[in-house]
Chain A
C-alpha cells in the first residue's frame, strides 16, 4: 500500500464520494497506420460517422439540458469547416489520427485563448469531440469504469459524464478542469461531487504527485472542501465517513438558510462572505445570498503566464460589478509556497517559509505595479478592498501602500479614472497575530486561518502525517484569533476570517466564541455555514 496522498483543489460541486479511483488518463491504444491516403480518409470518415451516431443515440435519451450540449457537439462534427482541415492534411500524407488531432487542437487553441470565460469553457467540448472521434478511430472502445468510481484525470468529457450511471455514487477529481465547464454545471445540477484544479495547487510541491499505485486503489473525495485523499488510511476513512454523513444530514436542513442573513440563535448578526479563485466562480453564486467577497485570490489569474493589466482589470471589474454595493476584498498575488507561478516564483528548499506573498511582490515591483494599476482602475466599478498576504513586519505594509500611492499619482497624471481602495492585511504570520499593535494603520485585518494554523502548530497543511496537529481549534490558535478580534474592536479595525475553518460547521462555534462576527467561506459551504451559525447560542 502506498502512503496516503492528500491533494487540494477547488470544489466545483459540493458533496462526498468514496470509491475506487478510475484513471481517465491511462494510456490509449495505438492507432495503426493505413496503407494509402485514401484508406486514411475512409478511416476518418467512418470514425466521424460512428461518433456522430453515438451522439445522436445519446441525445434521444438525454434531458433538454444535456441534449443541448450534445446537439452542439453533433452540429460541430457535421460541419465541413471543422473536419475539412483534417482531410486536407490526410491528402498531404498524414495519418488519420494525427491529422484529426492537429486540426482539432488548432480549433481548441482558439477557444482556450478567448478573453470570455464562456468561450474558454467550450474548449472542453471541443476536446470531447476530438476524443470521441479518436476513440472511434482507434477502436477497442473504452475500459469501463467500475460502479461508484471517482474519475481522476486532467479533464473529463461531457459525453463521458452523461454515459456514466451516477446512481451508484462516485465523483470527479480533475487536475485541471474548470468550475465553468459544461461538466461542472451538469455535476452541480445532478449533485455529483466534483473537484477541479488539483494540479494548480500541487504542481510545485517538492514531493512527487500520485504514483501508479495511488491511481488503482480507493479514494476519498471531499468536494465540500475541495480535496481528495488517495490510498487513505483506515483512520482517514473513518473520519471521512463521519464528515460525509453529517454533510448529507446538514445539507438537507441547510438549504433553507441560504438566502437568509446569518444570525446566531440569540439573533446576533454574522456577516458571511464568499471566497473565490476565478472570476467565473461568481457566475454560479447568487449575490443576494452572501455579504460580499471576503477573499478573491488572484494567483489563479497568474497561470502559465503573467497576466497583463487589461486582463486583470477585466477580471476584477467583473467580480465588482457582480457584487454591486457589497464589498469585494481582493488579495494581491499570493504566489510562492504551494502556488508557484512560472516567471515569478523561485525554487526554494522550504517554500512556505520563503519568498511568497507580499515578500515576492515587493521583490518584483515591476510585476506588482501592473496588478496595483489594474486594482486602482477596477476600484471605480464597485466596493473594492485590497489586502496583502504574508505580511510579517509593518515595513512591508508601508512599502506596499507607498507603491499604491505612486501608481495612483501616475494614473492621475495620465488622466486615467481610478480610486484608492482601503488597504488591509492578512493576519497569517504569527508575528502579526501576536503583536497586532504594529499594524494599527491597516484599514482592516483578514485572518488567514489555514496559514496561521500551520505556522503556529508547525504542521504543514498538505502533509497528511501531521494533519492531526493542524487544527484551528487548538487553544493556541483560538487565543491568537481572539486577541486579534479584541484588538480590532478596540481600535475600530474590522476583522474577518477567510480560511477553510470559517466554512467548517465544526469550527464555527469556537470561531464565534473568539469574538469574530465576519466569516468568508467557499460558495458551496454558504448554506451550511449559515445553518451552523444559527445553531450557536451566543
Chain B
C-alpha cells in the first residue's frame, strides 16, 4: 500500500535554496525510500528532491513558498522532516550571511 503526503513551507534563508542548503536538503531526502519532489507553485513543475542538479535548477530564492510532496513508504515522515529542515533555515545559523 502506498502513502502520499504534501505540504508547503516558506523559505526564510537569506539567499534561498542555494548550494549548501541544497546539499543538506537532497541528502535528507535520500534517506527516505519514498519518491520526493519539490515545486515553486502548487501546480508544478515538480523537481526530483533527491537530485541536487534538479533542486538547484528550481532556483528558489528567499521568500519563496516551497511545495514538497512524497509518494511511497514513509511519505509523511519525509515531507515532515524536509519542512522542518527549511523552517530551521537549514541549520545554517548566523554565518551564512558572510559566505552566501
- Give bound CA distance, A153 to B92, whole Å: 34
B53 at the interface (CB under 8 A from A): yes
Instruction: Digitize A100-119: 1 where CB-to-B-CB distance is under 8 Å, 0 elsewhere.
Output: 00000001001000101011
Question: Which residues on A sit within 8 Å (CB–CB) of B48?
Answer: 81
The A85-111 residues at the B interface (CB cut-off 8 A) are 107, 110
A71 within 8 A of B: yes
Shortest C-beta distance, A85 to chain B (Å), equals 10
Q: Which of B26, B51, B59, B98 contacts A116 (CB 8 A)?
A: B59
Task: State whether A122 touches B56 (Cβ < 8 A).
Answer: yes
Which chain B positions have C-beta within 8 A of A110? 57
Q: Are A75 and B100 in contact (CB under 8 A)?
A: no
A180-225 contacts to B (CB < 8 Å): 185, 189
Q: Could you give, for residues 39-80 of chain B, a 1 whenever the CB lies within 8 Å of some chain A CB and a 0 otherwise?
A: 000000000100111101101010000000000000000000
Please give me the residue from chain B that is nearest to A77 by CB atom.
B52
Give the shortest distance, in Å, between B18 (CB) and chain A (any CB).
6
Q: Is B22 touching A72 in the complex (CB atoms < 8 A)?
A: yes
Q: Are A118 and B15 within 8 A (Cβ)?
A: yes
Is A348 an interface position by the 8 A CB rule?
A: no
Is B20 part of the contact surface with A, judged by Cβ < 8 Å? yes
**Please, which residues of chain A bring their CB within 8 A of the CB of B16?**
118
Q: How far is it, in angstroms, between the C-alpha of A118 and the C-alpha of B43 when the chains are bound?
A: 26
* A68-B99 contact given A75-B23, A114-B59, A118-B15, CB 8 Å threshold: yes
Which of the residues B20, B52, B59 comes within 8 Å of A119, measured between beta carbons? B59
Cβ of B88 under 8 Å from chain A: no
- B10 at interface by CB-CB < 8 Å: no
User: Which one of B18, B54, B59, B99 lies within 8 Å of A185 (CB-CB)?
Assistant: B99
Interface flag for B87 (CB, 8 Å): no
* A71 partner, pick from B20, B51, B53, beta carbons under 8 A: B20
Q: Which of B15, B53, B59, B98 is A79 in contact with, Cβ under 8 Å?
A: B53
Q: In the bound complex, how far is the Cα of B18 from the Cα of A283, in angstroms?
A: 16
Closest Cβ of chain A to B29, distance in Å, is: 12
Residue of B nearest to A186 (CB): B99
Q: Count of A residues near B, CB < 8 Å?
A: 22
Cα distance, A387 to B98, chains bound together (Å): 32
Q: Which residues of B contact A289 (CB under 8 A)?
A: none
Residue of A nearest to B18 (CB): A118
Inter-chain contact A72/B23, CB cutoff 8 Å: yes
Cβ-based interface call for B19 (8 A): yes
Contacts of A116 in B (CB 8 A): 59, 61
* Distance of B63 from chain A, by nearest CB (Å): 12
Q: How far is the CA of A66 from the CA of B48 in the complex (A)?
A: 27
B61: A residues at CB distance < 8 A? 116
Instruction: Please give me the residue from chain B that is nearest to A67 by CB atom.
Output: B20
B22 touches A80 (CB 8 A): no
Determine which residue in B16, B57, B99 has the highest number of CB atoms from chain A within 10 A of its CB, and name it: B99
Query: How far, in angstroms, from A209 to B19 measured CA to CA in the complex?
Result: 36
A443 within 8 A of B: no
- CB of B52 within 8 A of CB of A76, answer yes
Q: Is residue A346 contacting chain B, with contact meaning CB distance below 8 A?
A: no
Compute how far the CA of A65 lies from the CA of B27 in the bound complex, rounded to whole angstroms: 18
Residue of A nearest to B50 (CB): A79
Q: Which of B22, B52, B56, B99 has the most CB of A within 10 A?
A: B56
Q: Chain A residues near B26: list those with CB within 8 A.
A: 75, 79
A306 interface residue per 8 A CB criterion: no
Are A72 and B54 within 8 A (Cβ)? Answer: no
The 0/1 profile, CB within 8 Å of B marked 1, for residues 316-327 of chain A is: 000000000000
Q: Mark A333-351, 1 if CB is under 8 A from B, else 0.
A: 0000000000000000000
Given contacts A65-B99, A118-B100, contact A107 B19 (CB under 8 A): no
Q: A278 contacts the other chain (Cβ, under 8 Å)?
A: no
B54-A81 in contact (CB<8A): yes
Contacts of B98 in A (CB 8 A): 185, 189
In this assembly, does A69 line the interface, its C-beta being within 8 Å of a C-beta of chain B? yes
- Per-position contact with B for A38-82: 1 when CB-CB < 8 Å, else 0? 000000000000000000000000000100110110011001111
Chain B residue nearest to A71 (CB atoms) is: B23
Closest chain A residue to B19, Cβ basis: A72
| Assembled-state Cα–Cα distance A379/B95 (Å) | 33
Write out the residue numbers on chain A whose beta carbons fall within 8 Å of the beta carbon of B51: 79-81
Q: Which residues of the other chain, A, contact B19 by a CB distance below 8 angstroms?
A: 68-69, 72, 122, 125
* Chain A residue at smallest Cβ distance from B27: A75
Contacts of B56 in A (CB 8 A): 119, 122
Q: Which residues of B contact A76 (CB under 8 A)?
A: 52-53
What are the residues of chain B within 8 A of A119 when measuring CB–CB?
18, 56, 59
| A65-B99, A81-B48, A185-B99 as given contacts; A72 in contact with B20, CB under 8 Å | yes
Of the A-B pairs whose beta carbons lie under 8 Å apart in the complex, a sample of 26, sorted by A's number, is A65-B95, A68-B19, A68-B20, A68-B23, A71-B23, A72-B20, A72-B23, A75-B23, A75-B27, A75-B52, A76-B52, A76-B53, A79-B26, A79-B52, A79-B53, A81-B48, A81-B53, A82-B53, A110-B57, A116-B61, A119-B18, A119-B56, A122-B19, A122-B56, A125-B19, A283-B100
9 more contacts with CB within 8 A, not counting A65-B95, A68-B19, A185-B99, are A68-B99, A72-B23, A81-B53, A81-B54, A114-B59, A122-B19, A185-B98, A189-B98, A283-B100
Ranked 5 nearest A-B pairs via Cβ: A81-B53, A72-B19, A81-B51, A68-B20, A75-B52
